[in-house]
Amino acid sequence: MYFAALLARTEDGWEASDTELDDVETLSDLTDLAREASVDEDTVLVYIEQEDAWFGVVRVDGEEDPRIYVSDASAAARSSYGEILLTDELLGREPGAEDEIAALEELVDLDGTEDGEPDDPLPDADGAGGAVTEPDLDQEDPDAVPAGPLGDLAILADLGLSEKDLLTLRTDALAEIADALGAADVLEAVR
């Protein structure tokens, strides 16, 4: 179960609205949604949570690039909305690297065998062929998503929620974020 909300800062404080993410497929779509809710290009926070699994905050300040924080990247990676937030940049990957690797794998058989040719098995202890392969434990999966928090820890620091406090949020994080922003009452009206 997902919940998403927008908190837009105005001259009179914060305005809150729940939002549907059905038409959101990319971070760019999410950023555009936030900018539409912005008053005078002021700060807008998009909050997304998957019940008891993870939450994410995207901060959009005018035309600046969005800032992102995800409470548990590995949990978010298993979610369609979480995947939107886990950009190559946030994960420390070369942009477009996954697309390039997939294209190369289609062009070249990277395991070194011809089509229809069986893999050469490693010999077992008596020298005969066996089907056991040794895993290479020294190589890290470049596509692996780290467990735990990921992103801009200072995303809410200037709004009243320190990095340390952000890291301690678990369940019902939106209520604590809204409380720190002074937006608890307006959020409660839409929740």
List, edge to edge, every strand of the sheet that includes 13-18. 13-18, 2-10, 43-50, 54-61, 67-70, 150-151
Q: What does the pLDDT look like over 129-176, one tens digit per residue?
A: 555 444 444 445 556 788 899 999 999 999 999 999 999 997 789 889
Neighbouring residues of 188: CB distance < 8 A, sequence distance ≥ 6? none
DSSP conformation class of 146:
P
Residues 6+ apart with CB under 8 A from 145: 73, 74, 76, 77, 86, 91
**Who's near 43: CB < 8 A, 6+ residues apart?**
8, 9, 59, 60, 61, 159
What is the predicted pLDDT for the residue at 159?
Answer: 94
- pLDDT confidence of residue 68: 97
pLDDT at 120 over 60: no
Is pLDDT of 123 > 60? no
What span, in angstroms and rounded, lies between the C-alpha atoms of 88 and 42? 26
The rounded mean pLDDT for the chain is: 81
pLDDT exceeds 60 at position 117: no
CB 34 within 8 A of CB 60: yes
Chain centre to alpha carbon of residue 139? 24
pLDDT tens digits along 96-116: 655 555 555 555 555 555 455
Which pLDDT tens digit goes with each residue over 28-62? Answer: 999 999 999 887 889 999 999 998 899 999 999 99
**What's the confidence (pLDDT) of residue 25?**
93
pLDDT at 105: 53
| Distance in angstroms (rounded) separating the CA atoms of residues 156 and 22 | 26
Separation CA 180–CA 159 (nearest Å): 8
Q: 101 with 94: CB under 8 angstroms?
A: no
Average pLDDT rounded to a whole number, residues 117-140: 50
Helix (H, G, I), strand (E, B) or coil at 98: helix
* pTM (2 d.p.): 0.75
Q: Residue 152, SS3? A: coil
